[in-house]
């Protein structure tokens, strides 16, 4: 059932013609509803690539594992920096793991 | 963005674009093709037609954790070809193509590094190898980096345009058509040369997680890569090669994450339910845990079949630091696998990772399915070039090899462009294609028909059960293939009942139509190879052994007059000396 949009946090990217999640989704799955909030038009078709989750500027999108495959409720939260990414992972027992690494180097 | 609703074909605006080189598919190979073409001649008009958005599209949308081929000091391009040949059981492979890719491989990988891709290197600048040829990267930004360079090159990028067909001037390709999934326009790209560089075909077969879960796309290959690049050429009679060599891989069970990262990269042995190291036990003579890829894919399924499943990658020897590094690799390539482990509450240092087979894919990057091309990467259709997943004959290209092939196709196309002129537009052809493309949408909301999802699911079950899918442990036989072909024809005839409720749905409708074309040709290839050459990738239960007479390429071509797929062979030529079966 990925992805899940937090309707409180989502601001539809305000003035943007398309919200960023709609711009990047490789499956054309994300769209802006009449209420100017993002939604996924076919959650079964999501590849879990997390492009939408990573690009959301307000952290409103969460990728979820379908319940038939994994238990409630684990979280994986990406924070994008200019040349690095930080991931916070919380498992179903509440254990927290963080990963931070460079995802870009200075171009020559 | 608000999307158009269309009720009449006359409402559909046609946009015509003229280019010297049209690139269909702005993925890895497509981006490199654009950059190379503009580098060769900045005056060339280069257009990229991309179904998604090139910053996050195709097979590398999520990122990548390794460059699987990068030639270390002391090794040669010929060594890489020997290894690649041994990975497909001694060939046949197109050694001319493989060698030309290998010769420029490192430079293409270093291009990526120069553009900002972190390749993990030690203090002396030596790349960190985790196998003989694989180097670790932090490739979360791989696709955005390539895309930025393609845009900077000056190529015109048309995002969200779904390719539907080739423009033809008699037998010559003079561009392609598509439709805008956001703006509803019909796009006509007229081009002196066209490079097809789309992804391979995922979703021909049912993924085992798609029944009774909310995740139909728990696949390893991008599910949005549907084989359109192959289908457009097949419809115009292009020769295809080796489609029967399907990419089937051992993947993490229920999530379909890459297992070679674990078993080869972190040396976690593949074991069965009894804890036996199955590759070391049965395939030590072929390299054990590093045995050729089809062996590694098939062996765990043999265990399940023999009643010794489940199977695992035994990570219980990993240190906590290694386990963290392993997860970091996944975060770069298949991030939701880390979430998946968390959703199982699983500590991989205490509990091994369960593995299972994937659904089969048709790809020209890992395996060698695709267009038969010349050394300039021109297909058998003049004016039509292929690179990356679309081009056949060269397995184990991966990221670097697809990049090189994009460059080589651009060089071939640039040379060809200089020798031809662009003919006038064939208005009849364009009108017919436009009508075909929009027909499912124009059938209206009251139409009693079939949705794209229904047709897709019917096709996927058919392929899975009759053409050697995962539910059948990849096995098939003559009778099942005949049954599959009969019903694929019926499905193709049912396309008259296909309806789409909006433009997104119209994209899905064309995706299933394209998949049907590839599925039919694939099934003919499986039927022709009356032997078992690559168990798992291609298993004929009625012909369980290798037939020395089929040590050749299996080829197909659609006869446009009869509508029948014609099969033939081409000989294998060994160019790189050495024993074919060892790296």
Using alpha carbons only, how large is chain B's radius of gyration in Å? 23
Chain B stretch 291-330, residues whose beta carbon is closer than 8 A to a beta carbon of chain A: 324, 327-328
Mutation site, B64, B336, B453, interface A, largest A CB count within 10 A: B336
Residues of chain B with pLDDT under 50: none
Which among B538, B519, B524 has a CA at the least distance from the CA of B476?
A: B538
Q: How far is B327 from B348, CA to CA, in rounded Å?
A: 10
**Residue A37: which region, alpha, beta or left (left: phi > 0; alpha: psi -120 to 50)?**
beta
The partner residue sitting opposite A89, judged by closest CB among B113, B181, B339, is B339
Contact B344 A89 (CB under 8 A): no
Q: CB of B513 within 8 A of CB of B498?
A: yes
Which DSSP symbol is given to B11? G
Q: How far is B16 from B413, CA to CA, in rounded Å?
A: 21
- Active-site choice (A47, A67, A99, A103): A47
B537 contact partners, CB below 8 Å, separation of at least 6: B245, B246, B247, B248, B294, B297, B298, B360, B367, B474
Q: What's residue B2's pLDDT? A: 54
Mutation site, B58, B65, B140, interface A, largest A CB count within 10 A: B140
Name every chain A residue with its beta carbon within 8 A of the beta carbon of B223. 27, 45, 47
Query: Does position A19 have pLDDT exceeding 70, yes or no?
Result: yes
Chain A stretch 64-103, residues whose beta carbon is closer than 8 A to a beta carbon of chain B: 64-72, 74-76, 78, 85, 87, 89-93, 95, 97, 99, 101-103
- Return the C-alpha torsion angle B112, B114, B117, B121, nearest 10: 110
Contact A66 B113 (CB under 8 A): no
Residue B209 near chain A (CB below 8 Å)? yes
Query: Catalytic: A47?
Result: yes
- Bridge partners, B480 (sequence order): none
B372: which 2 tokens? 């038969």
Name every chain A residue with its beta carbon within 8 A of the beta carbon of B117. 104-105
Contact A28 B117 (CB under 8 A): no
> Distance from A1 to chain B by nearest Cα, in Å?
5
Chain A to chain B Cβ contacts (< 8 Å): 173
Q: Which residue of B has its CA nearest to A36?
A: B1
Residue B10 near chain A (CB below 8 Å)? no
A66: which 2 tokens? 């379908």
Q: CB of B202 within 8 A of CB of B225?
A: yes
Q: What's residue A5's pLDDT? A: 97
A80: which 2 tokens? 């994008």
Contact A63 B58 (CB under 8 A): no
Q: CB of B503 within 8 A of CB of B182?
A: yes
Contact B336 A107 (CB under 8 A): no
Give Cα separations from B462 to B211, B356, B572 (angstroms). Answer: 14, 21, 32
Contact A18 B138 (CB under 8 A): no
B214: which 2 tokens? 């909310």
The DSSP code sequence of chain A is: ---EE-TTT--TTTT-SS-HHHHH-TTS-EEE-TTS-EEES-GGG-----HHHHH-TT--EE----TTTS-TT-EEEEEE-SSEEEEEEE-TT--EEEEEEES-----
B484: which 2 tokens? 């599959």
Q: What's residue A16's pLDDT? A: 72
- Per residue in B359-407, pLDDT (tens digit) is 999 999 999 999 999 999 999 999 999 999 999 999 999 999 999 999 9
Contact B1 A43 (CB under 8 A): no
Q: What's residue B540's pLDDT? A: 98
Residue A17 near chain B (CB below 8 Å)? yes
Which among B82, B92, B140, B132 has a CA at the least distance from the CA of B116?
A: B140
Name every chain A residue with its beta carbon within 8 A of the beta carbon of B56. 24-26, 49, 51, 55
Mutation site, B64, B117, B211, B214, interface A, largest A CB count within 10 A: B214
Which DSSP symbol is given to B51? S
Q: What is the ipTM of this complex?
A: 0.98
Q: How far is A61 from A5, CA to CA, in rounded Å?
A: 5
- Per residue in A36-82, pLDDT (tens digit) is 999 999 999 999 999 999 999 999 999 999 999 999 999 999 999 99
Give Cα separations from B72 to A39, B69, B132, B224 (angstroms). Answer: 46, 9, 8, 34
Question: What is the pTM (predicted TM-score) of this model?
Answer: 0.98
A107: which 2 tokens? 């171009």
Q: What's residue B3's pLDDT? A: 65
Q: What's residue B5's pLDDT? A: 76
> Distance from B432 to chain A by nearest Cα, in Å?
26
Name every chain A residue with its beta carbon within 8 A of the beta carbon of B4. none
Name every chain B residue with its beta carbon within 8 A of the beta carbon of A85. 140, 331
Q: How far is B28 from B31, CA to CA, in rounded Å?
A: 6
| Dihedral pair phi/psi, residue B137, rounded to 5° | -135, 165
B416 contact partners, CB below 8 Å, separation of at least 6: B192, B193, B376, B378, B383, B385
Q: What's residue B428's pLDDT? A: 96
């Amino acid at each position: 059932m990925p992805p899940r949009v937090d309707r409180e946090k989502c601001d539809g990217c305000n003035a943007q013609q398309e919200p960023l999640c709609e711009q990047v989704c490789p499956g054309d799955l994300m769209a802006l509803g009449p209420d100017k909030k993002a939604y996924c038009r076919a959650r079964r078709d999501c590849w879990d690539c997390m492009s939408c989750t990573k690009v959301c500027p307000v952290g409103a999108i969460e990728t979820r594992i379908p319940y038939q495959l994994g238990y409630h409720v684990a979280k994986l939260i990406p924070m994008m920096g200019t040349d690095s990414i930080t991931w916070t992972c919380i498992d179903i027992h509440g254990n927290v793991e963080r990963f931070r690494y460079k995802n870009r180097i200075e171009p020559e | 963005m608000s999307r158009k609703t269309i009720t009449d074909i006359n409402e559909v605006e046609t946009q015509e674009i003229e280019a010297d080189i049209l690139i269909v598919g702005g993925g890895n190979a497509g981006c490199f093709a654009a950059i190379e073409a503009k580098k060769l001649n900045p005056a060339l008009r280069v257009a990229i037609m991309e179904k998604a958005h090139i910053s996050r599209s195709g097979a590398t949308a999520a990122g990548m954790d390794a460059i699987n081929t990068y030639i270390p000091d002391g090794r040669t391009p010929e060594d890489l070809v020997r290894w690649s040949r041994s990975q497909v059981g001694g060939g046949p492979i197109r050694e001319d193509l493989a060698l030309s890719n290998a010769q420029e491989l490192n430079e293409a990988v270093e291009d990526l590094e120069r553009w900002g891709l972190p390749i993990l290197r030690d203090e002396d600048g030596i790349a960190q190898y985790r196998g003989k040829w694989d180097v670790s990267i932090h490739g979360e930004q791989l696709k955005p980096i390539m895309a930025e360079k393609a845009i900077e090159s000056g190529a015109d990028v048309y995002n969200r345009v779904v390719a539907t067909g080739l423009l033809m001037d008699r037998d010559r390709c003079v561009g392609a058509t598509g439709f805008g999934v956001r703006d509803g326009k019909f796009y006509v790209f007229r081009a002196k040369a066209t490079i097809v560089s789309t992804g391979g075909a995922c979703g021909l077969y049912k993924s085992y997680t798609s029944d009774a879960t909310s995740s139909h796309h728990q696949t390893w290959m991008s599910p949005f890569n549907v084989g359109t690049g192959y289908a457009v050429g097949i419809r115009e009679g292009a020769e295809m090669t080796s489609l029967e060599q399907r990419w089937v891989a051992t993947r993490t069970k229920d999530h379909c994450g890459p297992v070679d990262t674990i078993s080869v990269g972190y040396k976690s042995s593949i074991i069965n339910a009894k804890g036996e190291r199955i590759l070391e036990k049965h395939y030590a003579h072929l390299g054990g845990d590093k045995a050729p890829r089809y062996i590694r894919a098939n062996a765990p399924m043999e265990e399940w079949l023999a009643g010794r499943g489940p199977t695992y990658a035994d990570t219980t020897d990993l240190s906590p630091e290694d386990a963290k590094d392993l997860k970091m690799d996944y975060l770069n390539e298949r991030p939701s696998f880390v979430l998946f482990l968390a959703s199982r509450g699983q500590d991989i240092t205490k509990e091994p990772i369960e593995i299972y087979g994937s659904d089969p894919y048709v790809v020209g990057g890992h395996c060698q399915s695709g267009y038969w091309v010349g050394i300039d990467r021109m297909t058998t259709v003049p004016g039509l070039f292929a690179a990356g997943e679309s081009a056949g004959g060269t397995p184990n290209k991966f990221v670097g090899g697809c990049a090189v092939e994009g460059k080589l196709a651009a060089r071939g196309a640039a040379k060809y462009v200089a020798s031809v002129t662009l003919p006038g537009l064939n208005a009849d052809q364009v009108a017919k294609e436009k009508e075909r493309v929009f027909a499912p949408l124009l059938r209206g909301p009251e139409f009693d028909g079939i949705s794209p999802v229904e047709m897709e699911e019917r096709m996927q079950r058919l392929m899975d059960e009759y053409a050697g899918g995962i539910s059948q442990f990849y096995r098939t036989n003559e009778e099942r293939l005949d049954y599959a072909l009969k019903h694929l024809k019926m499905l193709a005839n049912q396309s008259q009942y296909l309806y789409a409720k909006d433009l997104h749905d119209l994209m899905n409708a064309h995706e299933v139509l394209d998949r049907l074309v590839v599925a039919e040709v694939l099934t003919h290839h499986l039927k022709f190879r009356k032997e078992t050459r690559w168990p798992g990738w291609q298993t004929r239960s009625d012909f369980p052994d290798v037939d020395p007479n089929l040590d050749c390429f299996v080829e197909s071509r659609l006869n446009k007059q009869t509508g029948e797929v014609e099969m033939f062979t081409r000989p294998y030529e060994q160019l790189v000396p050495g024993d074919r079966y060892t790296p």
